[in-house]
Structure 1
């Protein structure tokens, strides 16, 4: 299959100023969207609790938001989940996460008679059998782990924990369980923010509209979210640095800046498209950005490789003309590769759900700008760097090398 007839050439470089100007304007616009309307960070990066509920009846997002606020949660986010075969499914996010305050931790230790040395015990009649040797609180604040020297009395432990203000068991049956009989380990499961959120919805909207259980409950603390955000930024930067080193080693130092600027261009515009459409930035989005980096640099390396091959073949052409020739020769391959990949992403964008749609959207934008940047960002910038900092030596060096080869041939005519 050939989209471009062999031998046909396009003058890309004559229009480079217009396209580079458009790229700069688009990149600046993308950077502006990072602040207004701003990147919509998901729960992965900002922390919070997220539940997905399949409602029994149709309820507007305004009613759901009002019910969540009335249940005691601030600034809730309600999103309708539209996918084939599902109805009345919503995703609710709140900034609150499960947590046990230091005061509550101290109260738990006092109720279980395990206090710091020198402090008075809350109950002077604590039986030694009811005093644990260790208390641990989960980072999520939804579980307390206890260890005992002998077989614990679960009913007595449940009675102790029920007297603490702000501590609510998940259920009478599942609240206190023996996790490890040999180690005498007991786990106390507390009600999470997701459970409290669902209870609030059932109370406000009615049990005929809200089911007893959520389809999915996820949470992440703000500290862990900040760590994930920093790690995501570092991963993208490290990938770009290693790619720059690879291009400089694989080709020439003058090729590396063009490839890196093209990568920054592609990732920046893809993030800008996510910000304009207010799609969520999650771990999946970071994976999409890294995929864009890999896809874009692959296309750029192919163009660079053809430019390097054509330099000794066409000694009478300028560097700009060689770039036009090389891109024209690779244009058919680029159209087929990018087109097939884009078609698969369109299928995911049309029939996918949730994060898959966001992932496909980011990749679709990245494929478009990645193909464009190889032609109108990376190659023109390489030509400018060669002219500005190397005195146009790329073509001159190839001419010298080619003449030396001709002179060394025994049958060469001088």
Structure 2
């Protein structure tokens, strides 16, 4: 289904400098937030204990705080609403090392007399396990970026690979800045969202690069900037429809999916918008600014074609018994 007709070529490269300045400012602002405010690591990475409690009516948070003070295990615990006024989460930065101690039973004992409630979830992560999860999470992001670099360099050319990596770093940086700005807990769900952003943004960028390579191959005499404009314009309908459908699905999860996937959905929302933007205004202009040589590219294509012809000729001679 085609909602957008390809009738004229938009001058995306003419807006590339302004877009790049905007991107640099946003990325620098994200790094400034990361340095000053820092990421708020959740239990998965920082270690600690999370207890989810649901009341029949509105949770008496002040009364709960007073009740928890009777047990020193809950010293420094924070209580906050979890999606609705009748459901709360108790977070503690420390976890009990005593395997015979049931934190759920301790919570029930401490909250006696605060109303009718049920313990829905108890998550305990030790500091050693949390540090290990954090290390492996960072390693997974680094390995994903390295794998993408190798893949794109092998499939296209090294300038395409560098341009795609710059776009991915741009996307992840802004997503982390947005997470820091709103104060979301960084846990395994957020890590999964960041890895999803890498895949989504790369897929969008590869489609644009395929069009650019196709345009370079067909239009030998056209300027690279004009080829990029034409290629991006031809993918505009696909990019718009894909991004909008993905955005609406993730937005629905964000609005109605519940507090448990709130951070995951928010990270993806930012990633979908930024990933679509970077495919057009970050990856493509970098390819142009890196001095991609169209003539040299055609020389390489001609040499490769000649080599394939020579291989075919030798194969035919071998099959016919003439060598």
**With structure 2 as the length reference, what TM-score do the two structures score?**
0.88
Match in the other structure for 2:315: none
Q: Once the two structures are superposed, what CA deviation does each residue of 1:146-178 show, in whole Å capped at 9, x if it has no partner?
A: xxxxxxxxxxxxxxxxxxxxxxxxxxxxxxxxx
- Residues 1:10 and 2:10 are matched in the alignment: yes
Match in the other structure for 1:25: 25
Distance 1:342 1:324, change over 3 A: same
**Structure-to-structure mapping, 1:219-230, within 5 angstroms:** 219-230=124-135
1:9: how far off?
1.1
Q: Once the two structures are superposed, what CA deviation does each residue of 1:44-97 show, in whole Å capped at 9, x if it has no partner?
A: 0111111111124423434433443453223322221225xxx51111111121
Q: Distance in 1 between matches of 2:276 and 2:110?
A: 50
Note if contact 1:49-1:217 (Cα within 8 Å) is conserved in structure 2.
yes
After the TM superposition, which of the residue ranges 30-39 and 15-24 deviates more from structure 2? Answer: 30-39
**Structure-to-structure mapping, 1:64-79, within 5 angstroms:** 64-72=64-72, 73-79=74-80
| Match 1:90 to one of 88, 91, 104 | 88
Distance 1:218 1:199, change over 3 A: same
Match in the other structure for 1:165: none
Match in the other structure for 1:337: 242
Q: Distance in 1 between matches of 2:49 and 2:264?
A: 21
Q: Distance in 2 between matches of 1:60 and 1:263?
A: 45
Note if contact 1:307-1:326 (Cα within 8 Å) is conserved in structure 2.
yes
Match of 2:111, SS state, is: helix
Q: Distance in 2 between matches of 1:200 and 1:251?
A: 62
Match in the other structure for 1:254: 159
| Match 1:197 to one of 101, 104, 107 | 107
Match in the other structure for 2:148: 243
Match in the other structure for 1:289: 194
Q: Distance in 1 between matches of 2:65 and 2:209?
A: 53
Distance 1:290 1:36, change over 3 A: same
Greater Rg over alpha carbons, structure: 1
Structural RMSD (CA):
2.2
Q: Distance in 2 between matches of 1:66 and 1:318?
A: 71
The runs of 5 or more residues in structure 2 that have no matched partner are: 306-323
1:252: how far off?
0.5
Q: Once the two structures are superposed, what CA deviation does each residue of 1:212-258 show, in whole Å capped at 9, x if it has no partner?
A: x5111110100100000000000010000000000000001111111
Distance 1:292 1:400, change over 3 A: closer
Match in the other structure for 1:328: 233
Q: Distance in 1 between matches of 2:230 and 2:79?
A: 53
Match of 2:158, SS state, is: coil
Note if contact 2:50-2:122 (Cα within 8 Å) is conserved in structure 1.
yes
Match in the other structure for 1:398: 298
